[in-house]
Amino acid sequence: MFLHKNSQRRIYFSEAIYFITIVVKDRLPFFAEEIFCDLLVGELKLGKTLKEFNLYGFVIIPDHVHLLIEPGDKYNISEIMRSFKTNCSRNINRIINVLEDAVMSPRLRGVGLNHLNKILPKYRNQFIQKYGSSQSQFPKFQWQKSFYDHYLRNSQDFKNHLEYIWHNPQKHHLINNFENYPHSSYNDKYNDLIDYFEL
């Protein structure tokens, strides 16, 4: 265990599972748009490959996201979340054309660059078809600074937070039955993304 050198003084535990909350700046409901939800799921898939973490659950609410993440040995939770938030912000802004002329990050090679070359043109085309090339509905995307994390203490804590994630769409009155919510790890279509945790 060691402390992270920032104002929040995060404590890192080995073999820890974290409940994470990240919020869109000003609570703007960007993730009411399906294109951005799909992109975020793609970033989770890429992040698992690049940052070597286990993902046990997630839900995408229009203005925030909850995750259950277990870092591997190489990257701590702050490094994982910094990478995820940075990549999401950059790529959403490319889709809405805020960063049309931005230079690709020189650190993104191999898997990361192939991922961008494959998904961004597809999502950009979908976005243009829906909103036009000169849309003004979406400002620049940004996350709120930092993120909320809770270190899970035991199996019951894990179960409680996983169920919280699953039921979160009902809490926010997005749907009557959480089982039908499309952007949650409860949905079978994400079986290949979610790691199994035995309680």
> pLDDT of 1-59, one tens digit each?
444 444 456 777 778 999 999 999 999 999 999 999 999 999 999 999 999 999 999 99
* pLDDT score, position 125: 92
Domains of the chain: 2-190 (3.30.70.1290)
Return the pLDDT at 101: 45
Alpha-carbon separation of residue 170 from 38, 112, 164 (angstroms)? 20, 34, 10
Phi, psi of 40 (to 5 degrees): -60, -40
Type of residue at 71: P
- State pLDDT tens for residues 59-82: 999 999 999 999 999 999 999 999
Closest CA to 76 of 30, 136, 8, 178: 8
pLDDT at 44: 96
CA distance 61 to 40: 12
More confident residue, 101 or 160: 160
Output the pLDDT for position 186.
Answer: 95
Amino acid at 35: I
pTM of the predicted model, to two decimals?
0.87
In single-letter form, the type of residue at position 21 comes to T
pLDDT in tens, 93-133: 999 987 544 444 444 555 556 666 778 899 999 999 999 98
